[in-house]
Amino acid sequence: MDRLVEGLGEVVEYAAERGVTIGFEPEPGMLIDSMQSFEALVQRIDRPNLRLTLDIGHLQCQGETPLDAMIRRWAPRLVNVHIEDMRLGAHEHLMFGEGQIDFPPVLQALAEVGYTGGVYVELSRHSHEGPTAARKAFEFLERKMGNTNLH
């Protein structure tokens, strides 16, 4: 952790001098793998330009739920949101509807906190069917957005 804090601290400082925001993504299996470990990192490097790339599937697979509460908790730091379906205990990016995530509360929470950044579909295992996967994802999310102000 000390090495990460030292190196990332330099990156964050360099970026701040240039008006650049850093979006850090906790990743299962890495040193910073959860929101708890991200919070420990932020306590050591608490700079306004060190922000959060929140992966909704990562929260699900690690049991960091309820998802909407996590979004509300971390809203002030959100700079990017990755979204896909996942199951508890398995870091496998799934097409929407194939996992366990209940998407309407997630999308509603993003709208409620006034999130206006990017929501990026991350289906890394679906590149062989890119246009089809993109269409399915768009149609799924469009149906689930319902009455949210997220568009």
Examine the pLDDT at 1 and tell me if it is beyond 60. yes
Q: Per-residue confidence at 58, pLDDT binned at 50, 70, 90?
A: very high
Position 145 scores a pLDDT of 80
Position 102 scores a pLDDT of 96
The two three-digit tokens of residue 35, written as one number: 């929101």
The model's pLDDT over 27-52, given as tens digits with 9 standing for 90+, comes to 999 999 999 999 999 999 999 999 99
The model's pLDDT over 87-146, given as tens digits with 9 standing for 90+, comes to 999 999 999 999 999 999 999 999 999 999 999 999 878 788 888 988 999 899 888 887
Distance CA 91, CA 122 (A): 12
**Residue 71: closest CA among 33, 113, 28:** 113
Position 130 scores a pLDDT of 87
Position 150 scores a pLDDT of 62
Half-sphere exposure for 108 (CA within 13 Å, toward CB): 11
Distance CA 95, CA 97 (A): 6
By residue count, the chain amounts to: 151
Q: Per-residue confidence at 149, pLDDT binned at 50, 70, 90?
A: low
Distance CA 7, CA 96 (A): 36
Examine the pLDDT at 151 and tell me if it is beyond 60. no
Examine the pLDDT at 69 and tell me if it is beyond 80. yes
Distance CA 67, CA 110 (A): 10
Mean per-residue pLDDT, 17-34: 98
Name the one residue in this structure whose structure tokens are 């971390």: 74
Position 42 scores a pLDDT of 97
